Structure 1
């Protein structure tokens, strides 16, 4: 099992329709390639965790890095791991704007991601710290971090 985490910046802010289209493609491709993970977006910034067989994850990262819809692609973590952090998600998705929405458009809300932080920290402290930091960089959500 292999995991990578990256951040990037959107060339332009994504509309809800663009985010939903991106998520649909990601979920379809990740299900096909047996990749799980988490995609987070806020105010033009992305953080994504991808996990699966190394070849599949690396092929996915190559496609993402070449996508002209974003820039400043930076891989933060990569390496072999023993277990998936997100085994049930073909692609969970969290936007801070969706806090409190109940499964809006089948998205995983920020509140659920925050609830998962203690579990994630026990399994991979680096990934939990990166997720927490992603939210903390947006001061309007810093107060919501409770761990």
Structure 2
């Protein structure tokens, strides 16, 4: 089992409908391959964690690498894990526009769901840094 954590920049700022389209596509692809993870978006920047069996994660990541909606993809982590950090999420999701997408299943109601996660894996630490740096303090 492995995880990949990456950053990338949207080619253009995305509206709510485009973000929901990306989320739905990610969930569909991830469910087919039993891949879990989380996707965060803030002002044109994505950070995503995908985790699961090596071949499945690599297949999902190959699709991500060829997606033309983003550029400047930087892989932060690509390595083995002992267990999943996001086993309940085909793709957890958060954006700075919380009030627009709070009806989505798997939408993070509060970034504390990640920032206070009792998991010291490199993926969690990386997400916590992204949340703090981008001030993703969503709560309602």
Q: Decide: shared fold, TM above 0.5.
A: yes
Deviation of 1:60 after TM superposition, in Å, equals 1.0
Residue in 2 that maps onto 1:134: 130
Q: Residue 106 in 1 paired to residue 105 in 2?
A: yes
TM-score where L is the length of structure 1: 0.84
CA deviation profile, 1:56-83 (whole Å, cap 9, x unmatched) = 1111111111111100000001111110
Structure 2 distance, partners of 1:18, 1:24, is: 10
In the alignment, is residue 88 of structure 1 matched against residue 84 of structure 2? no
1:128 to partner: Cα distance: 2.3
Deviation at 1:102, TM superposition (A): 8.8
Over aligned residue pairs, what C-alpha RMSD do you find?
Answer: 2.1
Q: Which has the higher helix share?
A: 1
The equivalences for 1:1-147 within 5 A come to: 1-98=1-98, 103-109=102-108, 111=110, 113-120=111-118, 122-124=119-121, 126-138=122-134, 141=135, 144=137
- Structure 2 residue runs without a partner (length 5+): none
Paired with 2:109 and 2:102, the residues of 1 have a C-alpha distance of: 11
Structure 1 gap ranges (5+): none
Name the CA distance, whole Å, in 2 between partners of 1:8 and 1:102: 21
Give the Cα separation in 2 of the matches to 1:69 and 1:9. Answer: 9
Q: Give 3-state SS (helix, strand or coil) of 1:119's partner.
A: coil
Alignment length, in residue pairs?
Answer: 138
Question: Contact 2:6/2:74 (CA < 8 Å) preserved in 1?
Answer: yes
CA separation of 1:68/1:104 partners in 2, compared to 1, >3 Å: closer, same or farther? same
